[in-house]
Structure 1
Amino acid sequence: MYTKAFAPEYQGALTALSVNSSLADVLAKGTEQLRAAERSGSAGDVARAGLAVAEANRRLGRIREADRAWKASYRSARTATDESAMAWALWSGGTLARQRGRLPLARRLLSHAAELGDRGGDVLARGYSLAGMAETGRIEGDYASVHRLHEQLLAEARERGEARHTVWALEGIAQMHRNTGSYDTALAMFEEAAGIARGADDQRGLAWALRGIADVLSVRGEAPERALELLSEGEAICRRMKLTSALAYNHKMRANVFFRSGRYRQAREVYEQALAEFEGMNEPRGAALSRLGLLKSLARLGRCPAQTAADLHRLRRTLGGTGLRHTRDMVDKALAELPGTPEPVTASAAPEERYERADATSGAGR
């Protein structure tokens, strides 16, 4: 039996906020509470209100505001010597770093957040931080090292009856199965996640699960219209809650469905829309995937193969130092499928995978 979904990142005076609260409402109420906490002089209250402000801004794609907010929350938590609040602030910072494509920084912040959550006795802060580390590894394509952590976190969430975290873990494991071709297993896990999310009223988790189901149906060549219906249901949730990033990924998946069913003009239009959305929120992974889909659509619409190959090589080079191995492999596959296009003379070999060294002043923790 799962409890009704809740949002542990909405803390202090904001615990009454629902996991399904509009992000615009969260930002407004969080900012109001933050100002009140600043007037009262309570560093702990400032940290917890600032966390909600940081998360609302991050999910709305307001990167600079989110970056300032999580760092301010961490400083206040440190002033209050509140390890739990410090852990949550670093969790927010690590999640933002991952969203921005700064994966080594994300791992460091999330690792420190998990340690603080453990020391502070905050089971959820520890769990969410470990989940962030697992998701970072999954995005990098390092499935071997993070699959066991995903399974561990799923077991812990099931034992607690914590619906939202169970849904997250199921979706993460399902995505790895989908990416490695185990479509039946992936579909079953996405459907289980959707059922738990519906029962627990976790609308955000439901939107991501619907996207996953649509993806598997589409990639198996089945029921494209059903896949589009599921994406429309998910899009309505994203718009209602103003889930900017989730909405962009929903649009990218809609374009994928169009592409796989041979509707290349529609795919091109929606890839262009998703690309603009990802670039607007400075989310490099989503932008790279949308650009790849756009280039493949243009190629199917008759664009010069040599131009397409040159653009694909350029995209591959931009991915060289990001750690997004799965995305880079997808570019390689697209190049291999493009006939008669040797690598342009001007294209240098992709650099060896390297990890960006984050500025030590950018904060410690997710």
Structure 2
Amino acid sequence: MYGKAFAPEYQGALTSLSVNSSLVDVLAAGIEQLRAAERSGRRDEQARCQLAVAEAHRRLGRVADADRAWKASYRTARAAGETAAMAWALWSGGTLARQRGAFPLARRLLALAAELAERGGDVVARGYSLAGLAETGRIQGDYEAVGRLHEQLLAEARRRGEARHTVWALEGIAQMHRNTGSYDTAYALFEEAAETAGRAEDRRGHAWALRGLADIVSVRDGDTERALALLSEAEVSCRAMDLSSALAYNHKMRGNVLYRAGRHTEARAMYELALSEFRAMGEPRGEALSRLGLAKALARLGRDRAETAAELADLAEMLERAGLRHTREMVARAQAEFGVGAETEFGVGAETEFGVGAEAEFGVGAETEFGVGAETEFGVGAETEFGIGAEAVR
């Protein structure tokens, strides 16, 4: 049995905020309480408020502000000797790094967050940090490496009755099944996620689950109108909560649904909208997916073949550098679809080939593997013990 969803990143004076609070309201409350904490000299409370500010900025797509806020939260928590608060700050920083496409840095920050959370006795922060590692691997296409971790985190969330984290894990596992062609399994998992989120009043999780259901309904069933209706329902929550990233992914998925239905002019408009949204928030993965959809729509609308080839080749090169294997494979399928090159290594039907055999890299019990050691500051006590690189704190 699950209780009402809660937002553990809203702490201290901000615990009254709901998981469904508008991010604009979260930001305003976070700044107000931060000023009060600064006046009272309470560093522990300052760190908690800075965390909420960082998360509001991140979800609103304000990358530079989010970067400053999580680092400030970490430094304040370190000065106060608050290990668990340090872990939460690093979780926020790692999540932001993933959002920006800096995957190696994301893994280092999230792994250190998991280690500090364990030291600080914060089981929720540890779970969120390990979930961040799992999601980073999933986004990059390393399904073999992170599949078991997703399953373990789902079991832990169910055992604790933590609805929000259960929904996240169900959606991650569902997405891997969808990407490997197991549509019925993916649909059932997205459906369970939507039902769990609905009962727990988790509007954000519900919106993401509806997006997943819309995708399956479109690709498996060819039911365009139902898919669009699901996306419209999800969009209401995205707008109510100012979920900029979720809204952009909703628009990108609407483009996918329209493209599959042969409504290429409408699809082009949605991809262009999503592309502008992702560019405004500096989210390279979403930008790449939107560029891919737009290139395909334009090709169907008669764009010069050489221009399509050049666009897809540029995308492929960028994704190769970024390490986004699954998205890179999607580009290869588009190249094959339009007969414009490289359908070899990442050819059609290769959805399951991305397991890297590195289960230890993301495996349970390996939280301390990333970023422990050699780079520079950010240490707990001894600043060389947990160095994760100067780029993280400048």
TM-score of the superposed pair, with normalisation by structure 2: 0.87
Q: Say whether residues 1:102 and 2:102 are aligned partners.
A: yes
Is the 1:5–1:163 contact (alpha carbons within 8 Å) kept by the matching residues of 2? Answer: yes
Of 308-317 and 123-132, deviating more is 308-317
1:231 match: 231
185-194 or 219-228, larger mean C-alpha shift: 219-228
Q: Which runs of 5+ in 2 are unaligned?
A: 343-374, 377-387
What are the within-5 Å matches in structure 2 for residues 168-179 of structure 1?
A: 168-179=168-179
- Could you tell me which residue of structure 2 aligns to residue 273 of structure 1? 273
* Aligned equivalent of 2:93: 93
Partner of 2:21: 21
Matches within 5 A, 1:85-234: 85-234=85-234
CA separation in 1, counterparts of 2:299 and 2:92?
Answer: 39
Alignment of 1:281-300 (within 5 A): 281-300=281-300
Once the two structures are superposed, residues 285-318 of structure 1 have per-residue CA deviations (whole angstroms, 9 ceiling, x without a partner) of 0000000000000000111112101110011111
SS in 1 for 2:20: coil
Q: Distance in 1 between matches of 2:391 and 2:73?
A: 13
Q: CA deviation at 1:221?
A: 3.8
Q: Is the 8 A contact 1:221 1:260 kept in 2?
A: no
Instruction: Name the structure 1 match of 2:52.
Output: 52
Letter in 2 for 1:146: V
Distance 1:77 1:234 in 2: 36
Residue 25 of structure 1, CA deviation: 0.3
Provide, for residues 4-49 of structure 1, a one-character-per-residue CA deviation record: whole Å limited to 9, x for no partner.
0000000000000000000000000000001111111111111000
CA offset at residue 360 of structure 1?
1.7
Task: Report the Cα offset of residue 248 of structure 1.
Answer: 0.2
What amino acid is aligned across from residue 67 of structure 1 in structure 2?
Answer: D
1:90 & 1:264 partners in 2: Cα distance? 42
Conserved in 2, the CA contact under 8 Å of 1:275 and 1:291?
A: yes
Aligned to 2:75: 75
Contact 2:335 2:341 in 1 (8 A): no
| TM-score computed with the length of structure 1 as normaliser | 0.94
CA contact (8 A) 1:183 1:216 kept: yes
Cα distance in 2 for partners of 1:243, 1:145 equals 30
Q: Is the 8 A contact 2:222 2:261 kept in 1?
A: no
Q: Which residue of 2 aligns with 1:326?
A: 326
Q: In the TM superposition, what are the counterparts of 1:331-346 in structure 2 within 5 Å?
A: 331-339=331-339, 341-342=340-341
1:253 corresponds to = 253
CA distance in 2 between partners of 1:361 and 1:304 (Å): 45
The size of the alignment, in residue pairs, is 350
SS of equivalent to 1:220: helix
Question: 8 Å contact 1:30–1:52 — kept in the other structure?
Answer: yes
C-alpha displacement at 1:361, in angstroms?
1.6
Q: Partner amino acid for 1:80? A: A
Which residues of structure 1 form unaligned runs of 5+?
344-356
* Alignment partner, residue 305 of structure 1: 305
Deviation digits for residues 150-190 of structure 1 (CA, Å, limit 9, x no counterpart): 00000000000000000000000000000000000000000
> Who is 2:389 aligned against?
360
How far apart, CA to CA, are the structure 2 residues paired with 1:11 and 1:363?
23
Task: Give the Cα separation in 1 of the matches to 2:79 and 2:341.
Answer: 59
Distance 1:232 1:306, change over 3 A: same
Q: Contact 1:94/1:109 (CA < 8 Å) preserved in 2? A: yes
Distance 1:227 1:15 in 2: 36
Q: Is the 8 A contact 1:90 1:113 kept in 2?
A: yes
Structure 1 residue 342 displacement after superposition: 4.8
**RMSD of equivalent CA atoms:** 1.3
> What letter corresponds to residue 129 of structure 1 in structure 2?
S
Alignment-mate amino acid for residue 128 of structure 1: Y
Q: Which amino acid letter does the alignment assign opposite residue 165 of structure 1?
A: H
Q: Which amino acid aligns with 1:361?
A: A
Match of 1:349 in 2: none
Between the aligned residues of both structures, percent identity stands at 70
Contact 1:91 1:109 in 2 (8 A): yes
1:35 maps to what in 2?
35
- The one-letter amino acid paired with 1:255 is G
Give 3-state SS (helix, strand or coil) of 2:75's partner. helix
Deviation at 1:222, TM superposition (A): 2.6
SS of residue paired to 2:321: coil
Looking at structure 2, the residues matched to 103 and 253 of structure 1 have their Cα atoms a distance apart, in angstroms, of 23
Residue 362 of structure 1: how far off its partner (Å): 3.0
Counterpart amino acid of 2:184? D
Amino acid across the alignment from 1:250: N
Q: Could you list the runs of 4 or more consecutive aligned residues of structure 1 that deviate by over 2 angstroms after TM superposition?
A: none
